[in-house]
Structures are given as structure tokens and as C-alpha cells.
Homo-oligomer: A and B are copies of this chain.
Amino acid sequence: MADLIYQKIIESLKKEIDSGAFPDMRLPDERSLAENYHVSRSSIKRALGNMSEQGIIFKKRGAGTFVNPLYLKQDSYFNYSGKNLGITDSFKANGQKPGIKVLSFDVIRPDEELRDNLFLNKGEFVYAFKRLRLLDEVPFMVETGYIPIKLAPELSEQVASESVFNYVESELGKEVNKTYLTISAQPSDEEGQKLLNLKNTEPVGIMEGIFFLNDGTPFEFSTMKLHYKYFKYDSFVDLDR
């Protein structure tokens, strides 16, 4: 992957941070980094700016660049705001074996709301599938997805049982790289209690949203219900925008 200079620097600095190379939480100044990495200061700035947006570090003008202490304590399952971790991959990173069980797979006529969300015209159809996701054989999430058939004509139950996004990349030559998510929580319903092995006092976390291809096409509308113990979402937010 990363044959880009700023990405390599990000990876390198992340490793250093993770390994505790900066016990005083302070990174070297930009000019020294540029010299040591044999790159321009602009490339360093780009790398650091990127890491700052991800919440890994923060910069204090006139003072220096520092590690965000919360980053080191991070133990979220879903870290969309970091390096690209597809859902599956992010679980691998935690050392647990992910699994998928397809509960249903159909082609349906979308209702008006779904048509709106996926920018579809009347008369167009979508794949509808429900999947149970597991970690080390333990179910933790029920996922309902809708994908326009015109965007993935060869989609199948087989594909759904593996990775849809990998299929998009390898077979369609496109990439899913953006998503609008709405996050909320609800008491568990009967289905959730049964599939996720929850008591009736235990809730589910909901992540619902649209996934986009790099050209801006809405690709999938998805609703994810998570066992509350696996529901953790980290977000670094710039408030003045």
C-alpha cells in the first residue's frame, strides 16, 4: 500500500506513538522531522495535519505537537475515523475471528424513503439482505442492507456471506470510501434478544446510513443493530465548521 510519502510518515509515527517512543507525549518539531525523514516540511505538515484530524495528536502553535492521551486508551470496535478499517478488518485487528451468517437474501421493490436514500427512480429494484455477524462464533450484530441491482448486477448470497465491499473493489473496480451515519440506541426488540442473546433490559446500538462510492454514487443503505457491549464509536469532531 502506502507508497505515498505522507502516508508512510503517518504509519511510522503511529508505530512510534504506539510503542511509547514519546514518553513525554511530545513529538519532535516539524523541521527536525522533515530533516530526519529526508522530506519537505510540507509533507510533514500534511502527515501531522492528517493525524490531527484523526485525533491521534494535537498541535499547539508556538509550543509543539503532542499525542492525544485518549488515542492511546482507544479500544473501540468501530473506528471509522482512523485508518481505513472495513468493519471486518477492524475486528481482525482486535485479534478476534469475524464470521458472517446470511439470514436472508432477496430482490425487492424499494419504498419511497429507500429510493430517496439511494437516489433511485421508480421501477428500479434493490437487493435486500440480512446478515448476522459473529466474533469468535459469538453473534454481536444484525445488519440489514439494500443495494441497487444496477450497481452490483452480479451480487449473490455467496458474495454477501463474504465481503460486499471487497467484491466492489475487486470485481467492479470501484471503492466505497464515504458514509453518512446516524447513530442511536434502542431497547432490544424480540429479534435482537434472540439473535444477539440479550436480556430485555439490555439495549442495542444502531448505526444507520448510506455508503458511497468514490464517484459520489450512493451504493448501500444499511442498518446495523449491535449488541451494546460491542457498540463503541470514536469520533473526533471539529466544532467550528
Contact = CB atoms under 8 A, between A and B. Distances in A.
A232 B184 contact: yes
A214 interface: yes
Contact of A84 (B175, B186, B217, B240): B240
B239 A178 contact: yes
A203 B183 contact: no
Chain A, interface SS category? mixed
Interface residues of A, number: 68
A235 B235 contact: yes
Contacts of A210: 70
Contact of A83 (B63, B209, B241): B241
Contact of A69 (B77, B83, B119, B200): B119
A49 to B, nearest CB: 10
A4 to B, nearest CB: 12
A235 B208 CA distance: 10
Contact of A203 (B70, B74, B186, B217): B186
A212 B241 CA distance: 15
Given A69-B119, A237-B85, A205 B185 contact: yes
